[in-house]
Chains A and B, each alone.
Chain A
Amino acid sequence: MAKHVVGKAEDVGPGMRKVFEVRGRPIVVFNVGGDYFALLNRCPHQSAELSMGLISGIATADEPGHVQCSRRGEFIRCPWHGWEFDIRTGQSWCDPGRISVKQYPVSIAAGAELVEGPYKAETFPVSVEDSYLVVDL
């Protein structure tokens, strides 16, 4: 595992998602209310780009017809077949133990500490004033 500075934190605002390529792999970073999560941008079913899907909450019901919606903005639905994945964990809602999207640690680092190392931005300049997304991969 190595740490990769992929972009500015402000480029992925709350409720947004953005795709980065890290070591040749497509990684989608989500901002859920200020928390960042990184998933492989590939549905485990048939490899659709998850980043193209709808971000939503989750519908649950203890009884037929009595539906609650909760955790708004914490799920991504695959654009091809609608499978729901928990952005926070990568787990599918239907079969969390067996079907999940690969998740990567992502953190925020201040430009000032990045300039001093040990990490290096590979494709763009880092300024001391900004914050950056760092993906472990």
Chain B
Amino acid sequence: MLHNPTSVIDCDIHPAVPGNDALIPYMDEYWQDQFISRAIGEMDLASYPPSVPLSCRPDWRQDGEKPGVSLDRCREQALDKFNCEIAICNPLYGGQVAASGLMGAEVCTATNKWLAREWLDAEPRLRGSIVVGSQLPDRAAEEIHRCASDKRFVQVLLLAGNEMLLGRSHYWPIYEAAQKHGLPVGIHAGTMYRYPTSGGMGWPSTYLQDYASGTHIFAAQLQSLIMEGVFAKFPGLTFVMIEAGISWVPSFIWKSKKDWHGTRGEVPWVKRSPAVEIRDRVRFTIQPFDTSKDPVHVEKLIEHLGSEDMLLFSSDYPHWQFDGDDPMPPGFPARLRHKIAQENPLRTYPRLMETV
């Protein structure tokens, strides 16, 4: 348990890498030279351009400052305001989407070193995700092994949209390394944009379509992870769907279970119903809460999920997902608030118990 029974564990905040200049000191000599001589500038994700409204709540935005770069503002606007005893940092930056896997791996490594030094060392309430690129899974596994000795890193972080579906065995070195160290694998909204976010039917015309399509990506990845056998191969692994929304999950569970009844012979390594696997081993952060906040509807949603263990408190700071001071959507019943804010995160991230 946490020290304060009313405090929360925020499972998704976003410290922003100010730019490559901030990372270059954490790169090896070759890559320092590459970044300087090639004048490679910012590598912000196209999924979260700093200027779009979603990337920062208006009352948290500072003129001329990239959202999320200030630890002081993070303390004041999030950690203190939400009463966080712990918050998990998920830096979103270009290493995970770089066309060059080698460059991507170096940017991810530098991002992890930067996070440990500039944020985790400076603020004891913070924990980190190990950011890895999916371009070169063996390099990602090496980075997981390197970071795992620092117990403040509590999960491995991937983006939702990659070069292939995440269940493919190409990615299994990442899962093997994560399982070895008892780290859940977080999958965060955002994509490498190798494929249309629409689910492959063609490129959408607007940001709105692009962001709303994120749900399809998560559904496809979850299906792939189960059916390709990742859950069977790595029985100790938990997945956290971050900024994935929640309202689509009950129907997804229902359909994947139903289809499995008829086509199980294709995937005989899936021994348990997908519904059971998802309820046992997949977690979802609560922001954005993409459905009605009416308490009756929220209760129905929880009933349809079929488990009270699956939801994790998150603010998604500084992204603009809610207004006011409380990231917990208003419709949640009192009995679940403590569970979502403390119990479920502590169970999901075993390392939090070691460091509380």
Contact = CB atoms under 8 A, between A and B. Distances in A.
B262 A81 contact: yes
A16 to B, nearest CB: 22
- Measured as residues with beta carbon below 8 angstroms from the partner, the interface class of chain A is 10 to 19
A65 B271 CA distance: 13
Main secondary structure of the interface of B (DSSP, over half): helix
A84 B261 CA distance: 8
A95 B260 CA distance: 11
B264 A64 contact: no
B275 to A, nearest CB: 10
A83 interface: yes
Nearest to B232: A64
A63 B232 contact: yes
A84 B229 CA distance: 20
A61 interface: yes
A60 interface: yes
B228 interface: yes
Contacts of B269: 61-67
A64 B233 contact: yes
Most buried by B among A60, A64, A67, A95: A64
A137 to B, nearest CB: 28
Interface residues of B, number: 16
B262 A82 contact: yes
B268 A94 contact: no
B263 interface: yes
A95 B233 contact: no
Contacts of A92: 261
B268 A67 contact: yes
A93 B264 contact: yes
A64 B169 contact: yes
Contacts of A62: 269
B209 to A, nearest CB: 34
A62 B270 CA distance: 9
Contacts of A1: none
Given A64-B229, A64-B232, A83 B261 contact: yes
B265 interface: yes
Interface string A68-79: 000000000010
A45 B261 CA distance: 10
A83 B59 CA distance: 55
Contact of B273 (A66, A67, A95): A95
A94 B271 CA distance: 8
Contacts of B233: 63-64
A94 B273 contact: yes
A93 B260 CA distance: 11
Nearest to B227: A64
A28 B228 CA distance: 36
Contacts of B260: 94
Given A61-B269, A84-B264, 4 more contacts: A63-B232, A64-B169, A64-B230, A93-B264
Q: What 7 pairs across the A-B complex have the smallest Cβ distances? A: A64-B229, A82-B262, A61-B269, A81-B262, A59-B268, A61-B268, A64-B269
22 contacts: A45-B261, A59-B268, A61-B232, A61-B268, A61-B269, A62-B269, A64-B169, A64-B228, A64-B229, A64-B230, A65-B229, A67-B269, A81-B262, A82-B261, A82-B265, A83-B261, A83-B262, A92-B261, A94-B260, A94-B261, A94-B273, A95-B261
